[in-house]
């Protein structure tokens, strides 16, 4: 007799000791090998007024000329009339690990007399990337999902030394729920150490006051003490005071450093005593790149998706955490499953209806075109027929009738 399987929640899990090596300890290596083979992908957006050093910083971060050197950019380049969104994708490789890096730039941001709506094209772009992902998820074949979502947005704050500008606040307020915001103080070498410290305090106060959520490299229970300390160190530097440069200088002793040269000395980009560039790179590339992607998928995208589906009238599964008896729990799970199915069905129906509507509109359009063509041809034929009729009539009236024709028409001839 088949007994129904016990629901997962009622299964008692017992800890067992292995009597020898089985091999599943190798699972992390399998994941590692697979990931390296597949390669990684990361999309980063840079936003800030023109000339704040965005392209220089990106080149410095990835230690490559993603942006062509300024001298090679044509001087005839016209300034954009509105905020544009442009992306550059490059495949880079380090120690056999491949990374497809996309940098999304936003030329024109903050460069106009009226910058009131500067944030809008950028928000639209981020949301349209979410929409494209949602649309792919709803497809019947979801085997190859292209993820073009923005995983991090580096926001460049002008090194005024005062506080955030209304434009900075408006941008961050509008976008913090859609993207991992990483604020940086641009060209930090133009401020003294004390000025940077005071500026950071004021920026953080503004961010707190306006309840803006910036990305705070999280720490997990399973992290060891060293990682936790490193993370605290990173978080304590936010907003990162950065300096960018792809120029190298010989500082003696066979040491070459990337930095900016002044009459009084060299500001070293990779020196933590000089700026926070190293900490930014550590968070963005070395320790939290995957976390940034996960947060984008699990929190930012998920919230957007829920909002979008709720706006379409589809309800989110109620997730209630409470002690219940197994039968009640099973019933709840069954209901939740049904709701999930209904939600999926509604999503599919919505997509299907949109497709049908699109097809119908196209069909109607081609039907109208066909009808118009048919009418046109009919009219042309009609006209042709009338002309021929007229010609025939004129011919018949000007020419004597042949006996055969007269006979056909019912006339009789007397011989
Ligand atoms: P747009 O392409 O116009 O948006 O400019 P951008 O923000 O990409 O600035 P870009 O990197 O082209 O730098 C503009 C100028 O600032 C260049 O002359 C850079 O050499 C200089 N610059 C870049 N980073 C820094 C920095 O950290 N400190 C200082 N002092 N100058 C910098």
Residue-wise pLDDT tens digits, 13-31: 888 888 888 888 888 888 8
Residues 6 or more apart in contact with residue 145 via CB below 8 angstroms: 133, 136, 137
Ligand 1 within 6 A of 50 CB?
A: yes
Mean pLDDT of 228-238: 91
What pLDDT sits at residue 320?
47
Q: Pocket of ligand 1, candidates 56, 190, 268: which has the most ligand atoms within 8 Å of its Cβ, to mutate?
A: 56
Domain extents in the chain: 35-311, 326-415
Phi-psi domain of 252 (left: phi exceeds 0; alpha: psi -120 through 50; beta: other):
left
Specify the residue with its C-alpha closest to ligand 1, atom 14: 51
What pLDDT sits at residue 299?
94
- ipTM score: 0.96
Ligand 1 within 6 A of 65 CB?
A: no
Q: In terms of pLDDT, which residue wins out, 12 or 350? A: 350
CA of 206 to the centre of ligand 1 (A): 25
Ligand 1 within 6 A of 136 CB?
A: no
Asked if 330 contacts 301 with a C-beta cutoff of 8 angstroms, the reply is no
Strands, DSSP E only, in 70-212?
Answer: 86-94, 97-105, 152-157, 181-185
CA of 152 to the centre of ligand 1 (A): 20
Residues 6 or more apart in contact with residue 256 via CB below 8 angstroms: 248, 249, 250
Q: In terms of pLDDT, which residue wins out, 315 or 39? A: 39
Specify the residue with its C-alpha closest to ligand 1, atom 5: 51
CA of 57 to the centre of ligand 1 (A): 8
Q: pLDDT category, 414, cuts 50, 70, 90?
A: low
- Tell me the whole-structure pTM to 2 decimals: 0.71
Ligand 1 within 6 A of 244 CB?
A: yes
Specify the residue with its C-alpha closest to ligand 1, atom 13: 53
pLDDT tops 60 at residue 146: yes
What pLDDT sits at residue 400?
63
Q: pLDDT category, 324, cuts 50, 70, 90?
A: very low
User: Rounded to an integer, what distance in angstroms lies between the CA atom of residue 155 and that of residue 176?
Assistant: 11
Specify the residue with its C-alpha closest to ligand 1, atom 31: 187
Ligand 1 atom with the shortest distance to the CA of 70: 12
CATH class (in words) of the domain with range 35-311: alpha beta
Ligand 1 within 6 A of 118 CB?
A: no
H/E stretch holding 63 reads none
Ligand 1 within 6 A of 111 CB?
A: no
Ligand 1 atom with the shortest distance to the CA of 242: 27
CA of 72 to the centre of ligand 1 (A): 15
Tokens representing 208?
Answer: 């707190």
Give 111-123 pLDDT, tens digit per residue.
Answer: 777 777 889 999 9
- CA torsion sign, 91 to 149 to 174 to 299? negative
Q: How many residues does the chain have?
A: 415
What pLDDT sits at residue 52?
93
């Amino acid at each position: 007799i088949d007994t129904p399987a016990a629901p997962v929640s009622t299964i008692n899990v017992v800890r067992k000791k292995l009597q020898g090596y089985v091999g599943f300890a190798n699972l992390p290596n399998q994941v590692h090998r697979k990931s390296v083979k597949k390669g990684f992908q990361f999309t980063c957006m840079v936003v800030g007024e023109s000339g704040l050093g965005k392209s220089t910083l990106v080149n410095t971060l990835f230690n490559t000329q993603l942006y062509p050197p300024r001298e090679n950019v044509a001087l005839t380049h016209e300034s954009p009339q509105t905020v544009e969104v442009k992306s550059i994708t490059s495949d880079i490789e380090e120690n056999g690990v491949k990374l497809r890096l996309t940098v999304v730039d936003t030329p024109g941001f903050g460069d106009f007399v009226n910058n009131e709506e500067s944030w809008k094209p950028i928000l639209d772009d981020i949301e349209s990337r979410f929409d494209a992902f949602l649309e792919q998820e709803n497809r019947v074949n979801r085997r190859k999902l292209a993820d073009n979502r923005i995983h991090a947005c580096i926001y460049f704050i002008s090194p005024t030394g005062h506080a955030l500008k209304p434009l900075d606040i408006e941008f961050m307020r509008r976008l913090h729920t859609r993207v991992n915001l990483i604020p940086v103080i641009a060209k930090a070498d133009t401020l003294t150490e004390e000025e940077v410290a005071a500026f950071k305090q004021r920026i953080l106060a503004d961010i707190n006051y306006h309840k803006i959520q910036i990305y705070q490299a999280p720490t997990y229970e399973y992290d060891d003490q060293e990682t936790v300390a490193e993370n605290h160190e990173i978080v304590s530097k936010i907003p990162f005071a950065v300096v960018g440069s792809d120029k190298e200088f010989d500082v003696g002793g066979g040491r070459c450093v990337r930095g900016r040269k002044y009459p009084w000395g060299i500001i070293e980009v990779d020196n933590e005593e000089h700026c926070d560039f190293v900490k930014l790179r550590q968070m963005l590339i070395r320790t939290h790149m995957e976390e940034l992607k996960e947060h984008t998928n699990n929190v930012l995208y998920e919230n957007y998706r829920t909002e979008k589906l709720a706006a379409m009238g589809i309800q989110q599964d109620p997730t209630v955490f409470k002690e219940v008896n197994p039968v009640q729990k099973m019933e709840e799970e069954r209901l939740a499953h049904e709701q999930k199915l209904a939600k999926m069905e509604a999503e599919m129906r919505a997509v299907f209806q949109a497709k049908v509507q699109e097809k119908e509109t196209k069909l109607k359009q081609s039907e109208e075109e066909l009808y118009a063509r048919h009418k046109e041809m009919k009219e042309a034929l009609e006209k042709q027929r009338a002309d021929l009729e007229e010609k025939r009539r004129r011919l018949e009236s000007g020419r004597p009738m042949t006996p055969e024709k007269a006979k056909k028409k019912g006339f009789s001839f007397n011989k």
